[in-house]
């Protein structure tokens, strides 16, 4: 087979795209944005704004009634079960990648919160827990006086 | 209660397909596909995607599923800790069966897409008579 420098399968645009992705990943790792790995389900993302701390988890197919959320001081406890309804008997599977099972996790909150002001909401398979920061932790605007 | 404990999985990234207009990463949704005598059923986990933001495309035997997520953070929020990545979903399937496009049913519930793809009734085998000449 003659050796040619031009591979008809070679797609320069795809190469660029792959390079861009590798750069993204490198930046993520360098800047410490690499996702944390705890080995416990479900993984959570935690964010904040001036008044609240938000804990989110992707729980597709988990019904609110199958979730049990508790707060103890600065520990948020997430328990629940993902159920996959059994298909009728006569079916045959081509692929089975989704998993059913239970989970129990404790998340240490990065900020103190008011345990009486916690709200949980499930939308499109994403659980969002909104926790209010205690009054003394909310940022206060300081007026600058002229001399 | 099921006795299996769930373990976290890293989301698989979808292979690059040209250049995307929408920024961000794209992942492959986890799917179950099963077959009944009448239909092919596909169930895909796409958390963060609402019903209006799912696109389905079936051309010949190539099925493309796409889902766009709602913004993962509210306005003014900063991330303190990230354990999972967020992004849109994309996956292609080559279907072995002929599908009756007019009867496809799609539902989105709690971030789970269920697609029922009814099979086209196969032409029944015909017996061919050989006439004596």
Distance CA B13, CA A16 (A): 16
Judged by CB atoms closer than 8 Å, whether chains meet at B32 and A82 is answered as no
In chain A, the domains with their CATH numbers are 41-84+100-137 (2.60.40.790)
- Per DSSP, what are the bridge partners of residue A95? B33
Contact A58, B47 (CB under 8 A): yes
By the 10 Å C-beta count (0-12 exposed, 13-18 middle, 19+ buried), A41 is classed as: buried
| pLDDT of the residue at A4 | 56
Question: Confidence class of residue A18 from pLDDT cuts 50, 70 and 90?
Answer: confident
| pLDDT of the residue at B123 | 46
What does the domain layout of chain B look like in residue ranges? Answer: 26-71+86-109
**For A28, what's the count of Cα atoms within 13 Å in the CB-facing half-sphere?**
15
The secondary structure of B60-73 as a DSSP string is TTEEEEEE-PPPSS
Judged by CB atoms closer than 8 Å, whether chains meet at A41 and B72 is answered as no
**CB < 8 Å to A61, chain B:** 45, 109-112
Q: How many Cβ atoms from other residues are within 10 Å of residue A66's Cβ?
A: 15
**CB < 8 Å to A58, chain B:** 47-48, 84, 111
| Nearest-neighbour CA in chain A from B78: distance (Å) | 5
Contact A146, A82 (CB under 8 A): no
A21 → closest Cβ in B16, B86, B110? B16
Beta-carbon contacts of B28 under 8 Å, excluding residues fewer than 6 positions away, are B11, B12, B13, B14, B89, B90, B91
Phi-psi region of A89 (alpha: psi -120 to 50; beta: other; left: phi over 0): alpha
**CB < 8 Å to A83, chain B:** 2
User: Nearest to residue A41, comparing CAs of A90, A81, A3?
Assistant: A81
Find the closest chain A residue to B43 by CA distance: A98
The pLDDT of A31-52, averaged and rounded, is: 83
Contact B101, B90 (CB under 8 A): no
Q: How many Cβ atoms from other residues are within 10 Å of residue A115's Cβ?
A: 15
| pLDDT of the residue at B73 | 94
| pLDDT of the residue at A35 | 61
| pLDDT of the residue at B34 | 94
Alpha carbon of A118 to those of A55, A135, B46, B72, B81: distances in Å? Answer: 11, 14, 26, 19, 19
Contact of A122 with chain B, judged by CB distance below 8 Å, is answered with yes
Distance CA B125, CA B121 (A): 12
The pLDDT of A113-131, averaged and rounded, is: 95
| pLDDT of the residue at B124 | 47
Distance CA A67, CA A76 (A): 13
Q: Which CATH class is domain B26-71+86-109?
A: mainly beta
Q: How many Cβ atoms from other residues are within 10 Å of residue B68's Cβ?
A: 19
> Which helix H or strand E contains B79, and what residues bound it?
strand B78-82
The pLDDT of A111-123, averaged and rounded, is: 93
Find the closest chain A residue to B47 by CA distance: A125
Indicate if the pLDDT at residue A51 is higher than 50. yes
List pLDDT tens digits, range A61-116: 999 999 999 999 899 999 999 999 877 777 889 999 999 999 999 999 999 999 99
Q: What is the pLDDT along chain B (133 residues), one digit of tens a residue?
A: 557 999 998 888 898 777 777 888 999 999 999 998 888 999 999 999 999 999 999 988 899 999 999 999 999 999 999 999 999 999 999 988 788 888 999 999 999 999 999 988 764 456 778 888 7
| pLDDT of the residue at B17 | 76
| Nearest-neighbour CA in chain A from B114: distance (Å) | 11
Indicate if the pLDDT at residue A28 is higher than 70. no
Phi, psi of A45 (to 5 degrees): -115, 135
Query: Whole-number mean pLDDT of chain A?
Result: 86
Distance CA B107, CA A61 (A): 12
| pLDDT of the residue at A55 | 97
Contact A44, A36 (CB under 8 A): no
């Amino acid at each position: 087979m003659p050796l040619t420098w031009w591979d008809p399968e070679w797609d320069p645009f795809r190469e660029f795209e792959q390079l861009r992705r590798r750069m993204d990943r490198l930046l993520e790792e360098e800047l410490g944005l690499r996702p944390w790995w705890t080995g416990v389900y479900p993984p959570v993302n935690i964010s904040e704004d001036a008044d609240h701390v938000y804990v989110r988890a992707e729980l597709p197919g988990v019904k609110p009634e199958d979730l049990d959320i508790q707060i103890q001081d600065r520990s948020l406890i997430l328990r629940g079960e993902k159920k996959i309804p059994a298909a009728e008997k006569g079916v045959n599977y081509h692929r089975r990648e989704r998993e059913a099972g239970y989970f129990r996790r404790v998340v240490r909150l990065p900020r103190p919160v008011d345990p009486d002001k916690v709200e949980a909401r499930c939308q499109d398979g994403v659980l969002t827990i909104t926790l209010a920061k205690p009054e003394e932790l909310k940022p206060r605007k300081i007026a600058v006086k002229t001399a | 209660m099921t006795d299996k404990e769930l373990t976290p999985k890293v989301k698989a990234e979808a292979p690059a397909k040209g250049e995307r207009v929408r920024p961000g990463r794209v992942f492959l949704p986890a799917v179950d596909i099963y077959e009944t005598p009448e239909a092919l059923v596909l169930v895909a986990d796409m958390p963060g995607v609402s019903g209006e933001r799912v696109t389905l495309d079936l051309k010949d035997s190539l099925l493309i599923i796409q889902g766009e997520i709602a913004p993962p953070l509210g306005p003014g929020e900063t991330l303190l800790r990230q354990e999972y990545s967020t992004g849109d979903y994309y996956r292609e399937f080559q279907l072995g069966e002929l599908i009756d496009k007019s009867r496809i049913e799609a539902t989105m519930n709690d971030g789970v897409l269920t697609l029922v793809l009814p099979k086209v009734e196969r032409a029944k085998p015909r017996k061919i008579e050989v006439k004596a000449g």
